[in-house]
Amino acid sequence: MLDDLKMIHTRDADDALGVCEKQWSQLVTKFNPDVEGIKDITNVVISGMGGSALPAVYLKTWPSLNVPLDIVRDYDIPTYVNSSTLFISSSYSGNTEETLAALNKAKAKNAIVVVVTAGGQLEKVAKDNNYPLVTIPGGIQPRMCSFYILAAFTQILEAIGLIEQGKTTELEQAGNWLKDQLTSFLPTTPTASNPAKQLALELIGKSVVIYSGPKLFPAANKFKICLNENAKNVAWVNQYPEFNHNEFIGWSAQPDNKPYAVVEIRSNLENERIAKRFAFTEQLLSGKRPSPEVIEPLGDSLIKQLVWTSNYCDFVSLYTALLNGLNPTPVELVEKLKELLK
């Protein structure tokens, strides 16, 4: 079915696969944030929801900030926010009510605000208050512009001196490298040679549980979100070693019939003890849970493995949507909820 290009074109009416194929280019986009003069930052808070907060999770892994970082997905903000806090307000639509509410509270605490958006009310607030503004290209779903926002965050933090110099260049290099890695995932590549199509066929009709180590968790988290929004498929995510302290036992008994698919992202860059935990867990849970589908990320650096795994899993989620008979792009329930909340 996934080799039927006519079917793919019909179901993928908004060309999500085309957007996915070009995601690498988002990583090399230059935003030139005007943040000159911002200094003496003691902590960073990134406020956003859904796809607008998703890229902030990458910053927990790559690159390493030299001050504490917190991610706020809420109407409220931490009590410690003050005049030495860099508060990055991120909303792709610019109309996310939680993000706008949090920004008002950050403003009241005299935080140093930078705005990342494609427009909407947030853009207006930024211009009215003379906040530094990074404008993301519009026209696609927030989850599909994660690499734009990651590039924006990286450039902002590097310009202020909160991450090591050269990380923007490293991200651009990873993007250019990623461009050459995608051929085997494309719709024109037959299922027999296409690992993304093959994995989608294993996931169809099941609830998906995704595990990774800490370093690759941002990619695992994005996979979970894209299965939810693209495939309209229930999925969960967790990471090692925390998994072995609780959820591990949950697989040992109930329910007897486990209608799940397990995906494990096993990176050779994780702590060597993580690899042992994956292996021993698979041994101990043999027969108690589905055998895991294992993803071994490509790339000789952490950022390469993160973007490769993210893009690969995006393709998997889109093919899963097509197998579900769905257009991957719309998120109608989210829009209906927003209308009700109005």
As a whole number of angstroms, the distance between CA 76 and CA 85 comes to 15
97 is catalytic: no
Strands 112-117 and 207-212: unpaired
At which residue do the structure tokens 């090692």 appear?
240
Question: Which residue in 123, 229, 264, 270 is the catalytic one?
Answer: 229
Neighbours of 206 (CB within 10 A): 17
- CB contact set of 276 (below 8 Å; sequence gap of 6+): none
- Both tokens of 324, joined, read 């579900």
Give backbone dihedrals phi and psi of 63, rounded to 5 degrees, phi first.
-80, 170
As a whole number of angstroms, the distance between CA 148 and CA 41 comes to 24
Q: Residue 275 is inside which H or E element, if any?
A: helix 272-284
At which residue do the structure tokens 């003691």 appear?
42
Question: Which residue in 36, 245, 332, 339 is the catalytic one?
Answer: 245
**Angstrom distances, CA of residue 24 to CA of 19, 94, 129, 158, 181:** 10, 24, 33, 20, 10
As a whole number of angstroms, the distance between CA 133 and CA 122 comes to 10
338 is catalytic: yes
222 is catalytic: no
Active site residues: 229, 245, 338
